[in-house]
Amino acid sequence: MKKILAITSIIITASLSGCLKDDEFLSKQPTNLIGEEQMWKDPGLVLSLLGNLYNRYYDIETVEDWASFANLNDAFPSENGAYGRVQNVDWGYGDWGTWDYGYIRDMNLFIKKCAAADKLEEGVRNRFLAEARFLRASYYFELAKRMGGVPLILEPEQYDFSGNPTYLQHPRAKEGEIYDFVISEAEAIKEVLPANVNEKSRATKAAALAMEARAAIYAGSIAKYGVNTPQVTLPGQEVGIPAEKANDYYTKALKAAKDIIDGQAGAYGLYTKKPDLSDNFASLFTDKANNPEAIFVEDYKLQSGKTHSYTLRNQPRSTAEEQEGGRLNPALNLVEQFEKLDNTFAPLATQSGSNYIYYNTPTEIFAGRDARLGGTVLLPGTLFKGKPVDIWAGLQLGDGSVVTGDIPGARKVVNGTEMQVVGYDGPINGYEFIAQTGFYVRKYLDPTVGSGQRGVQSDVWFIRYRFGEMLLIAAEAAFELNDKETAKDYLNTLRTRAGLTTPLTAADITFDRIVHERRVELAFEGHYLFDMKRWRLAHIVWDGNAMTAADLVSNIGSATKRNTQPWGLWPYKVFDPTSPNNGKWIFKEVLPNRVLASDRFRFGNYYSYIGDDIINNNPQIVRNPNQ
């Protein structure tokens, strides 16, 4: 006991004396922190700071959030916890909102300090500055999309502790002013940024131009179509853009998109590596090697901590690499949007008169359509990772009755023989993790082995801007500027890749065409909601009325077609040994029985709710209309 005491006291004395000896203790440089001065002379450290800003980029509907794709009825969420997405009537006014002025402040601080960092080489510093301005403009664009006009703050403001914060309170800018800011920033930085096709996850000249093109087309359509909803405006133009500005914005959108298309920002082009057009379209999203189509992406990397579970969550269930998958089921509503190869719209033919149409294979019904269908949706009977997807809802007997099971791959005795009566991948109503609509998603699904395992996951990137969208923007802008000839050329370029061999003529180009082309090309890429909002179509498309089967199959290709409930298409195998149709397939349109409500988009949803806390802190903020 005494010994221990002695030793302890020696240790304590020794440690104390150590402290006491160091006179410089309080002014020692910390070894675990990097100071401002060190920071701003090392490009590597500045890049890591910028990396933090890149990481905080705001997206909507990305591969990290599969369920958000099921919010708008282009897909059904096959997971018990997610059925609420098809059982809601109204979206909350606060949905899709964002108000992250902390992020803006950090970007402003970065820009201020970087501009003053004279120890960095000038070219390097200017690139960093341009990237930070790109990110700041991107976030202001995101704010404008969701909230309308917001306070435009470009300086890191400081509170002076005087007790009077009013000098920090800024009113909302006009919605148009935010778009003007985004466009002018893009113009200012585009020449500073590298024109390098292989740089995908950092800002490039093409990324700046793409942001400009998208912002301008948004602003143009809000100006042009805002007149259809006079209720969705504010007297101070915090929401709403005057109609006379439309052409100006469309001109800018066309020019920016054209610069990319004409190769002025590098050799970008459509992805055309694979001979099979559906495979080609699917690969466009998963191929990260020399992909000329991707302009700006959110990148991921295996074994680095930055991976995502999109493939794990959504892979076909029966061949899944983990007891997981099958969550995101594209809806028939979307599948029917894909045209026939002769450029006409037609529902998938399930019946002729009152008789079923019999198909030899489950995929035959989808034949002769836009190749993007097979690239976007995993159809019954097609392959994923080399294994077939087993989707069929039951056996259709000769007497018209149906035999089916309530677990995937259920077996029953039919006519004295035991056989499988439902597919291993569904569909079964209310059975989660299988294709309840009869489809799985394919876009962004990673074909790499291991991507469906929890321990590995996927590093497929999420494409924020791609070449295909630029063609669509150019086509839309040209159409709105009454140049259908140009619009047709851009659309045809895109459609040729999709396997549509008959070119559109200038007379074919209508507003509905533009709307339709964006919907099929850009499905599950986070565009649908904002497209419907900027064209002021959202309250028409999601009008709260239930959809009947007749609604579903009529007016395909019309921009105002209702889309309030996600429907499915269920294949049945005919079992009738005495009939020539034995072994053939029939199809039925089905509304999954977990769909209990039809969505209604209210005028108050066009711009998200600004929180009471924000308005209390800054009484100059005016509320958004209809809330």
Contact footprint for other proteins (CB under 8 A): 89, 230-231, 235, 539, 544-546, 564-565, 596-598, 600, 602-603, 612-613, 615-616, 625-627
Neighbours of 610 (CB within 10 A): 23
Closest approach of other proteins to the CB of residue 612, in Å: 5
Closest approach of other proteins to the CB of residue 228, in Å: 10
Closest approach of other proteins to the CB of residue 199, in Å: 46
Closest approach of other proteins to the CB of residue 350, in Å: 22
Query: Between 551 and 576, whose beta carbon lies closer to other proteins?
Result: 551
Query: Between 302 and 622, whose beta carbon lies closer to other proteins?
Result: 622
The b-or-e profile of 456-485 (16+ CB within 10 A means b, else e) is bbbbbbbbbbbbbbbbbbbbbbbbbbebbe
Query: Between 57 and 603, whose beta carbon lies closer to other proteins?
Result: 603
Give me the residues paired with residue 543 across strands.
600
Listed in sequence order, the DSSP H helices in 322-429 are 332-335, 372-376
Residue 498 near residue 264 (C-beta atoms within 8 A): no
Closest approach of other proteins to the CB of residue 78, in Å: 21
Relative to beta strand 377-378, strand 440-441 is: antiparallel
Closest approach of other proteins to the CB of residue 432, in Å: 23
Bond from prior residue into 77 cis (ω within 30 degrees of 0): no
Query: Between 465 and 609, whose beta carbon lies closer to other proteins?
Result: 609
User: What region, left, alpha or beta, does residue 523 occupy, with left being phi > 0 and alpha being psi -120 to 50 degrees?
Assistant: beta
Closest approach of other proteins to the CB of residue 362, in Å: 31
How many whole angstroms separate alpha carbon 582 and alpha carbon 584?
6
Query: Between 34 and 615, whose beta carbon lies closer to other proteins?
Result: 615
CA-closest candidate to residue 446, choices 328, 308, 269: 308
Closest approach of other proteins to the CB of residue 597, in Å: 5
Query: Between 286 and 598, whose beta carbon lies closer to other proteins?
Result: 598
Query: Between 12 and 89, whose beta carbon lies closer to other proteins?
Result: 89
Q: Which residue is it, tokens 């003053």?
A: 116
Tokens of 615: 């308005």
Angle between helix axes 175-189 and 122-147 (nearest 10 degrees) is 160
Query: Between 255 and 600, whose beta carbon lies closer to other proteins?
Result: 600
Closest approach of other proteins to the CB of residue 99, in Å: 16
How many whole angstroms separate alpha carbon 336 and alpha carbon 351?
15
H, E, C per residue of 475-488: HHHHHHCCCHHHHH
Query: Between 252 and 539, whose beta carbon lies closer to other proteins?
Result: 539
Residue 503 near residue 492 (C-beta atoms within 8 A): yes
Closest approach of other proteins to the CB of residue 560, in Å: 14
Query: Between 464 and 561, whose beta carbon lies closer to other proteins?
Result: 561
Sequence-distant (6+) residues with CB within 8 A of 406 are: 428, 431
The H or E element spanning position 519 is helix 511-521
Phi, psi of 600 (to 5 degrees): -130, 125
Sequence-distant (6+) residues with CB within 8 A of 469 are: 210, 214, 521, 522, 527
Query: Between 66 and 225, whose beta carbon lies closer to other proteins?
Result: 225
Closest approach of other proteins to the CB of residue 231, in Å: 5
Listed in sequence order, the DSSP H helices in 240-316 are 246-261, 277-286, 310-314
